[in-house]
Amino acid sequence: MSIFWSSTAAALTPYVPGEQPAEGSMIKLNTNENPYPPSPVVLEAIRRAVDGNLRLYPDPNASRLTAAIAARFALTPGEVFVGNGSDEILAFAFQAFFDRDQPVLFPDVTYSFYSVYANLFNLPFTTVPLDGQFRILPADYQRPNSGIILPNPNAPTAIGLPLRQIRELLEGNAGHVVIVDEAYIDFGGESAVPLIAEYPNLLVIHTLSKSRSLAGLRVGYALGQPELIEGLNRVKNSFNSYTLDRLALVGAEASFMDEAYTRSNITRIVQTRENTRSALERLGFSVTDSEANFLFVSHPAMPAPVIFRKLREQGILVRYFDKPRIDDYLRITVGTDTEMAALLKAMVEILPDTD
């Protein structure tokens, strides 16, 4: 505690990001990054921008990037908002759409940033329990609220919610914004984007950090009807008009010019995920049905923190959450086939002999 901190700062419980070890020192399967590099088209665009106009401010409206994203989803530019990673868009959305009179609802097991933002902005929240198989039950969200946020697929469980259930959530909460955080949607889930035309209360958030291999560039975007996008712009322009720098703008735009590259990486990752899932099950792990680029696993013969520590000793970093309900699980990012082979080899050495 510092005597210099405001009472607001003193009361914060910040989000703790996954460890980022020195480059190349570990097999890094802990923060759901893409194991493959970004498209060469992206790298070339950034290189060209470096030689360009960095002395000038970037376009505060991100017009070119916004137009590229709108075209990709057959929406209008007025239905697109871009931000410095989806984390930043989430922060704006909490301020733009949620109020203090009723709680924001989100699952009890979910992305940890939601409660951090609710606390930061002094918004009451209620966590809604998942069922015994870690599923979100839309009927449980029919209660007084000032809005709902959930990831689809959920994190860290990796489990997706069918579109008809998203529809149920939207219809039962027509007076409030329902945010569907689709950070991992490209790896298999059913996207809610086609519902935007029908539901003015739907905001969908995507990121370039996962399927597009651009976590280091920090770009995310939100899709929704213009009224919601305008709400996000009001908050952004009261904070910092230039949330995306010139390199991020051109790099992100170039990513949408090379969809074939992204698609082929997604196919590879999904294939590796399924192979790894079967191999882990053969080793006795229980693995949830993943529609994401990570696996959520637990083993009956060894506590998750022990596996976590032993993997770490072998230079393999996965994610462990010391939280109720999931403290016997590990979240493992799907890496390359070589990385997964190393993971499986280490698991065989770590786990007690069962025969």
Q: Which of 103, 107, 188, 220 binds ligand PMP (CB under 6 A)?
A: 220
Assign 137 to helix, strand or coil: coil
Q: Does 207 bind ligand PMP (CB under 6 A)?
A: yes
Q: Does 209 bind ligand PMP (CB under 6 A)?
A: yes
Say if CB 154 and CB 107 are below 8 A apart. yes
Q: Does 291 bind ligand PMP (CB under 6 A)?
A: no
Closest approach, Cβ 111 to ligand PMP, in A, equals 4
Q: Which of 35, 38, 151, 231 binds ligand PMP (CB under 6 A)?
A: 151
Distances (CA, A) of 291 to 24, 187, 271, 304: 28, 6, 12, 22
Beta bridge partners of 224: 203
Q: Does 188 bind ligand PMP (CB under 6 A)?
A: no
Residue 55 is classified by DSSP as T
Q: Which is nearer to ligand PMP, 1 or 16 (CB)?
A: 16
Plot region of 32 (φ>0 → left; ψ -120 to 50 → alpha; else → beta): left
Q: Does 160 bind ligand PMP (CB under 6 A)?
A: no
Q: Does 181 bind ligand PMP (CB under 6 A)?
A: yes
Closest approach, Cβ 115 to ligand PMP, in A, equals 13
Q: Which two tokens stand for residue 132?
A: 């015994």
Q: Which is nearer to ligand PMP, 155 or 193 (CB)?
A: 155
x/- track of binding to ligand PMP for residues 69-108 (CB under 6 A): ----------------xxx---------------------
Residue 296 is classified by DSSP as E
User: Rounded distance, CA 201 to CA 196, Å?
Assistant: 8
User: Rounded distance, CA 314 to CA 25, Å?
Assistant: 11
User: Rounded distance, CA 306 to CA 41, Å?
Assistant: 42
Residue 218 is classified by DSSP as -
Q: Which of 27, 155, 307, 350 binds ligand PMP (CB under 6 A)?
A: 155
Q: Does 157 bind ligand PMP (CB under 6 A)?
A: no
Please name the amino acid found at residue 203: L
Closest approach, Cβ 232 to ligand PMP, in A, equals 15
Q: Does 215 bind ligand PMP (CB under 6 A)?
A: yes
Q: Does 137 bind ligand PMP (CB under 6 A)?
A: no
Q: Which is nearer to ligand PMP, 85 or 147 (CB)?
A: 85
DSSP string for 84-134: SHHHHHHHHHHHHH--SSS-EEEESSS-THHHHHHHHTT--EEEEPP-TTS
Closest approach, Cβ 31 to ligand PMP, in A, equals 7
Give the number of other CB atoms < 10 A from CB of residue 20: 11
Q: Does 189 bind ligand PMP (CB under 6 A)?
A: no
Q: Which residues bind ligand PMP (CB under 6 A)?
A: 85-87, 111, 151, 155, 181, 183, 207, 209, 215, 220
